[in-house]
Structure 1
Amino acid sequence: MRYIVIGAGAVGGTIGARLFQGGHDVVLIARGAHYEALKSGGLRLITPDSTETLDVPAADGPVPTRDDDVLIVATKSQDTISALDPWPRHLPVVCAQNGVDNERTVLRRFEKVYGMCVWLPASHLEPGTVAAFGHPYSGMLHVGRYPQGVDEISRQLVTDLNKSGMYGLDAPDVMRWKYAKLLGNLNNAVDAVCRSGSGGEALTEQARAEGMAVLEEAGIPYATPSEQAEVRGNKVDVRPIEGIERGGGSSWQSLARSSGSIEADYLNGEIVLLGREYGIPTPANEVLQREANRHAREKLPPGSMSAAELAALIDERSAAVSR
């Protein structure tokens, strides 16, 4: 199979680089300065063990397709539709993205859709460069057919990942793992908006408690923390890379790059949506969604608020919904 990675940032760049190192056909799809850097100098992959520049084929839009192509979409969720719109509808699509809405959205347009639950600590803040902090594997990736099951394509992808410095797992219940990841990703807005060390842990717990409440009310299963810990084991330990500060997660990186958009509508916003559908107040996630979007829209840097300021806004919203 040839893997066409749409969105060659931290996650997509690492997956594409590792598959390329494993001897597989890979094309990276990127835009702007990142594409220009890939085209002229290749992809620089930095890990705790090595630094390597890889001559991975790159393009800034659709390429002539083959019968064995698989699209791996690693864009932010808000860019899914526009990223996939130019591609032929018969190609299988793997959603290597946070959130739980992408697979359903893509299934409206493409027949074969796969979920990938991504646990992959990486950063992309400089054109042409990706830093992957995981060791001994760069990431742990559950893969399965959407809405459920596994097939020849998903099994082959898992096999190829496992031969390429990644830890891949067959997951017929892949969305159960993605809902568990969603609960963890409710911290992304706190990580992005709050100043480091200002005490955002309580806000994260509040957002997660709301998330668990709405998932349970909706009857949506998710992998438990003990299941996640058992599977992850010591497969993906986060290691430092000399000379590179890891910074924050994907939402933090969106603010750091002044990208103008952020994934909050598909993370905290997913909990807000379910809360409204089932009549459960979700004030913490409402405020986190709103503030993360405001920071992205106004291109504010990461850490522009204290946890106390954010907590006051959540308290205000909690009082309003309890009236």
Structure 2
Amino acid sequence: MKIAVLGAGGVGGYFGARLAAAGFDVTFVARGKHLEAMRTNGLRVISPLGDVTVEDPKAVDDISKVGTVDLVLVAVKLWDTDTAAQSLKPLADQGAAVLSFQNGVHKDEILTRYLPEKSILGGVCYIAAVISEPGVIAHSGTMQKLTFGEYDGTQSKRVQTFYEACQKAGITSEISENIRRLIWEKFVFLVGLSGTTASIRRPIGPIRDNPRTRALLLDVMREVVAIGRAKGVDLPADFAEDRLQFCDTIPATMTSSMHHDLERGNRMELPWLSGGVSEFGAQLGIPTPKNTTITQILELYAAGSKQ
């Protein structure tokens, strides 16, 4: 299986490195100092599950230089999805499957504007990993899981082949027969975690322990569940309560990438997280006061102070 990884950051760099180290033909599409470091010193993953170094990774600066592949893993930031989708059309037209592990629920809707619907697989990733320095990916904790599947629920050959590749690479993986629901399940938790940690500027521990901020976290997630159910996703009515219990099981120091981006002055994925929930609510006539307020609070920081 020939694989291209579009975006070699925390997600793409980690899983791509694991696949490359296992002997699969992986080409990374990266840029800037990270690309230079990969070409000079290789790609290194530092992980509690064992470090990995890909000595001489195949790395290019543009997807057009990848050549023919069987699968493209998309791991760019959400604001780059339109551009990425347009650049992937030649590969999709040649038969490549496209599997996005980006955040949120907008990603595949954007991909289908530019790519054949049959080329798109649904996917969700669970990992805490960042570029700690150019050419180096730092993995926090032991969670590293990919869940993916066909949107029609079939067990296709391409899904099974990628599952076997993940198993060989030591990546925890699972094939889902209802990938749309799983994407929304993660979205409920992600919006709750990102919205509260970024607006409160604290990790999940203090937020879940304080009665008022705990109630805010629950309300934020309830709004996401209401939107999902209105859009036809089969989420249980009390799924936000389930995710609140899940929040009690994660490390107290855990925070969101959006919180990290806020603190570093980076651009944030706000318009596709709490902002996306607020926009869905306006379209559907469903009140989303908590997510709308979070969006308003963070609006002045969404573009990043470095812009």
TM-score by length of 2: 0.82
User: Any stretches of 5+ residues in structure 2 without a counterpart?
Assistant: none
8 Å CA contact retained: 2:60, 2:66:
no
Which of 284, 290, 295 aligns to 1:289? It is 295
Q: Distance in 2 between matches of 1:162 and 1:226?
A: 33
Runs of 4+ in 1 over 6 A off after TM superposition: 225-228
Q: Distance in 1 between matches of 2:125 and 2:257?
A: 12
Q: Distance in 1 between matches of 2:160 and 2:146?
A: 12
Q: Distance in 1 between matches of 2:185 and 2:86?
A: 29
Which of 190, 197, 214 aligns to 1:191? It is 197
8 Å CA contact retained: 1:92, 1:110:
no
The residue aligned with 1:77 is 78
SS at match of 2:295: helix
8 Å CA contact retained: 1:43, 1:129:
yes
SS at match of 1:85: helix
Letter of the 1:124 counterpart: I
| Higher mean C-alpha displacement, 57-66 vs 24-33 | 57-66
Measure how far apart 1:257 and its partner are: 4.4
Letter of the 1:51 counterpart: D
Percent identity of equivalent pairs: 27
Which of 219, 232, 243 aligns to 1:219? It is 232
Does 1:277 find its partner at 2:290?
A: no
Does 1:179 find its partner at 2:158?
A: no
Q: Distance in 2 between matches of 1:9 and 1:210?
A: 30
8 Å CA contact retained: 2:222, 2:240:
no
The one-character-per-residue Cα deviations of 1:123-154 (angstroms, maximum 9, x if unpaired) are: 2242211112343xx51211112364342111
* Residues 98-247 of structure 1 aligned to structure 2 (within 5 Å): 98-111=103-116, 112-135=119-142, 138-146=143-151, 148-186=153-191, 187-196=193-202, 197=206, 200-222=213-235
8 Å CA contact retained: 1:177, 1:222:
no
Bigger helix fraction: 2
The residue aligned with 1:13 is 13
4 and 298 in structure 1: CA distance in 2 versus 1, 3 angstrom threshold: closer
Q: Distance in 1 between matches of 2:152 and 2:133?
A: 35
226 and 268 in structure 1: CA distance in 2 versus 1, 3 angstrom threshold: closer
Measure how far apart 1:174 and its partner are: 0.6
8 Å CA contact retained: 2:149, 2:159:
yes
Which of 294, 300, 305 aligns to 1:299? It is 305
Q: Which has the higher contact order (CA 8 A, sep 6+)?
A: 1
227 and 286 in structure 1: CA distance in 2 versus 1, 3 angstrom threshold: closer
The residue aligned with 1:254 is 261
SS at match of 1:172: coil
Measure how far apart 1:157 and its partner are: 1.0
Q: Distance in 2 between matches of 1:7 and 1:140?
A: 18
Q: Distance in 2 between matches of 1:216 and 1:251?
A: 25
Q: Distance in 1 between matches of 2:242 and 2:23?
A: 32
Measure how far apart 1:182 and its partner are: 0.4
SS at match of 1:108: helix
Measure how far apart 1:106 and its partner are: 0.8
Measure how far apart 1:34 and its partner are: 1.4
The one-character-per-residue Cα deviations of 1:66-125 (angstroms, maximum 9, x if unpaired) are: 444311101122211112333314232111111111112212222200111111122224
The residue aligned with 2:272 is 266
User: Any stretches of 5+ residues in structure 1 without a counterpart?
Assistant: 240-245, 301-323
8 Å CA contact retained: 1:149, 1:171:
no
The one-character-per-residue Cα deviations of 1:260-281 (angstroms, maximum 9, x if unpaired) are: x221211223322332233221
Question: How many residue pairs end up in the alignment?
Answer: 285
Q: Distance in 2 between matches of 1:293 and 1:142?
A: 32
Q: Distance in 1 between matches of 2:141 and 2:241?
A: 20
Root-mean-square deviation (Å): 2.8
Letter of the 2:258 counterpart: S
292 and 104 in structure 1: CA distance in 2 versus 1, 3 angstrom threshold: same
8 Å CA contact retained: 2:218, 2:240:
no
TM-score by length of 1: 0.78
Measure how far apart 1:285 and its partner are: 0.7
SS at match of 1:251: helix
Q: Distance in 1 between matches of 2:297 and 2:13?
A: 28
SS at match of 1:97: coil
Does 1:40 find its partner at 2:40?
A: yes
Q: Distance in 1 between matches of 2:221 and 2:241?
A: 16
